[in-house]
Chains A and B, each alone.
Chain A
């Protein structure tokens, strides 16, 4: 099971919007509406940002949003803030005929 493909890095100025893509296949991202996104800061616990493609846990700012089209999911951060600088990793359920779960390659978001 290959990792989902994400851009290595994206960047934006404060207040701008950035989008991170997460490309899988028809047996993972394309097959299920079970894409989630996690924010990673070094030395800290990963944090759930989006689940089930576009649902936001309580406490996550509404500037984070998720979507999916075909085999590609996306995370958009609108109104970028300095504290959004982190790594972001997508995840998809991949079914019992494969290795069940697959993560993305990870994207570093830099706030210029």
Chain B
């Protein structure tokens, strides 16, 4: 069974930093692109960042470029998101999801971790 478990969320002050983790199991983690997607409660999903299977290629949404860094450790089957210079608008539930390239869809998702940025 595929499992993705996010952790590391919490309450952080404006301008602060947080590192999210996503522990993967039940599939060949090192073969998949991985993504972070966020959702402000009551609103739709928003793509944040992606990383290719070997970690050499990354992309970011304009809203987080230069502040967030995605990375992965294939030996530990873990995905990360380092979030710096956090803003109020970064408050959201953050999900990790694996991505199937051939049909361009997110196959499995974690339950999410809540990040709250307060002033």
Contacts and interface: CB of A to CB of B under 8 A. Distances in A.
B94 interface: no
B109 A47 contact: yes
Contacts of B45: 38, 40, 46, 89, 91, 103-104, 106
Contacts of B72: none
A43 B44 contact: no
Contacts of A103: 37, 44-47
B103 A52 contact: yes
B109 A46 contact: yes
B85 interface: no
A6 B50 CA distance: 24
B111 A99 contact: no
Contact of A44 (B50, B59, B111): B111
Interface in B24-55: 35, 37, 39, 43-47, 50
Nearest to A53: B103
B104 A34 contact: yes
Q: What interface size band does chain B fall in?
A: 20 to 34
Contacts of A36: 103-106
Interface in B62-119: 62, 95, 97, 100, 103-112
B44 A32 contact: no
B59 A45 contact: no
A102 B47 contact: yes
B11 interface: no
B44 A51 contact: no
Nearest to A52: B103
Contacts of B46: 3, 103
A55 interface: yes
Given A100-B47, A106-B43, 12 more contacts: A3-B46, A34-B105, A36-B103, A36-B105, A45-B4, A48-B108, A51-B105, A52-B103, A55-B103, A57-B107, A89-B44, A99-B62
Interface of B: 4, 35, 37, 39, 43-47, 50, 59, 61-62, 95, 97, 100, 103-112
